[in-house]
Amino acid sequence: MVDLGIDHVPNEYLTSICKGITIKAPNNLPIIDLSGIDSDDLKRKSAAEAIHLACQKWGFFQVMGHGISNELMQDIIKMVHYFFNLPAKERMVYYSTDIYKSFRFSTGSVASAKKKFWSDYLFQHCQPAVHEDDVPESIPNYRKITSNYAKAVDELARKLLRIIAQNLGLDWQILEKHLDPPKQTMKMTYYPQCPCPDQAIGIGCHADPGTITVLQQELGVEGLEVNYNGQWIPVKPVEGALVINVADMLQILSNNKYKSAEHRVLVNTKRPRVSIASFYGPTDDKHIAPLEELLGDNPPVFKACLFREYMDNFYKNHLGTRNIETLRILNN
Ligand code: OGA
Ligand code: NI
């Protein structure tokens, strides 16, 4: 994608655009401070309440005081720019469309795909860990930066899952136990500039399949939007903040109490944009169903699914929209 050097947008990109205009509303997605919540009950209570409301209303929120240092956040963005500025020949060594590979360079613009997205990315497994042989040698400090980053994301995800479990009125460990061991992957995306941004899309509208996603946006470039009641609201990058979103398996586990949020990424003519998305969820062999503890008087809203099959459909539908609806039990 980066190397196409084209000055127009080929037709097949048009089919990927999810209709709907952007509401240039002020960014009123909640920004929740997690600092001090482990030692201060009042801070914990107010952060937990804010997370509960955000999971119900938006399925999207931002967090500060999350434990990932500014330095690491800057290093990883620089590292991704470094990779995408390497000569194409060096990058193509890592190119693969095999979704089970533990590290690969790929593109949202795969030649055979029905939907094409204006983006390239690096995809890496974190839990279970990337294979030693797959680690890219041509990126300085790749292993050190990504392993520190993945470890910090794991701690943050666990912290959030504990709060979310308690917010659902359940034992604080229930979600963590349910995912044990979790699957954690990271996608480092590069959205090149685009000559006609209204004719292409960085990534089409979708909800993430896992339980929660931790997303870092590069500062100073916009693009991410969340669907809120049919309107697209920009999620502006905030210094030091990470975006958290509820993904499909959390919507299922919570028996529809929390909603996974649809989102998309627009592109621009001026400059490329980098983002780091960490996906946290079940391993492929897990069956996911509404938690029994939440059923009581409420019937299950979704059927159980095998996560591997859910993921296969997600890729087959080129992200699709509302894949979760295929599991809804009707007449509820
Ligand atoms: C994704 C995604 C958002 C972004 O890769 O699933 O939604 O800002 N990325 O890059
Ligand atoms: Ni996403």
The whole-chain average pLDDT of the chain stands at 92
Q: Is pLDDT of 112 > 90?
A: no
Q: Name the token pair of 268.
A: 């621009």
Number of Cβ within 10 Å of residue 178's Cβ equals 17
Task: Provide the pLDDT for residue 16.
Answer: 58
Which of 189, 190, 205 has the most ligand 1 atoms within 8 A of CB, as the residue to mutate? 189
pLDDT band at 115 (very low <50, low <70, confident <90, very high): confident
208 CB neighbour count, 10 Å cutoff: 26
Task: Give the ligand 1 atom nearest the CA of 224.
Answer: 8
Contact 116, 106 (CB under 8 A): no
Q: Which residue has the higher pLDDT, 113 or 49?
A: 49
Q: Measuring from each residue's beta carbon to the nearest atom of ligand 1, which residues come in under 6 Å?
A: 187, 189, 203, 208, 215, 217, 224, 263, 265, 275, 277
- Note the pLDDT of residue 211: 98
- Tell me, what's the pLDDT at 10? 72
CA distances from 191 to 70, 87, 142, 322, 323 (A): 22, 17, 20, 24, 24
The architecture CATH gives domain 2-327: Sandwich (2.60)
Query: Using CA atoms, how far apart are residues 21 and 25, in angstroms rounded to an integer?
Result: 12
Ligand lying closest to the C-alpha of residue 246 = 2
Interval between CA 17 and ligand 1 midpoint (Å): 15
Cα–Cα distance for residue pair 21/50, rounded to 1 Å? 28
- Lowest-confidence segment of 98-112, 126-140, 203-217, 234-248 by average pLDDT: 98-112
Q: State the distance between the two ends of the chain, measured CA to CA, in whole angstroms.
A: 45
Residue 18 has pLDDT above 90, yes or no: no
pLDDT confidence of residue 23: 66
Structure confidence at residue 26 (pLDDT): 57
Q: Is the per-residue pLDDT at 178 higher than 80?
A: yes
Q: How confident is the model at residue 27 (pLDDT cuts 50, 70, 90)?
A: low
Q: What is residue 314's predicted lDDT score, i.e. its pLDDT?
A: 87
Measured CA angle at 278 (ends 274, 282), to 5 deg? 155
Q: Is the pLDDT of residue 4 over 80?
A: no
Say whether pLDDT at 235 is over 70.
Answer: yes
Residue nearest to atom 6 of ligand 1 (CA): 208
Average pLDDT estimate for 185-192: 98
**71, burial (CB in 10 Å: exposed 0-12, middle 13-18, buried 19+):** exposed
Matching residue, tokens 């790749």: 142
Name the DSSP letter for residue 323. G
In the predicted structure, residue 182 carries a pLDDT above the cut 80: yes
Index of the ligand 1 atom closest to the CA of residue 264: 7
Task: Give the residue-averaged pLDDT of 37-45.
Answer: 97
Reported confidence tier of residue 221, pLDDT bands at 50, 70, 90: very high
| Order of all β-strands in the sheet with 31-33 | 31-33, 60-64, 242-246, 212-217, 273-281, 183-191, 120-127, 103-107
Residue nearest to atom 1 of ligand 1 (CA): 277
Average pLDDT over every residue of 26-39 = 89
- Judged by its nearest atom, the ligand closest to the C-alpha of residue 261 is 2
pTM for this one?
0.94
CA pair distance 148, 35, nearest whole angstrom: 19
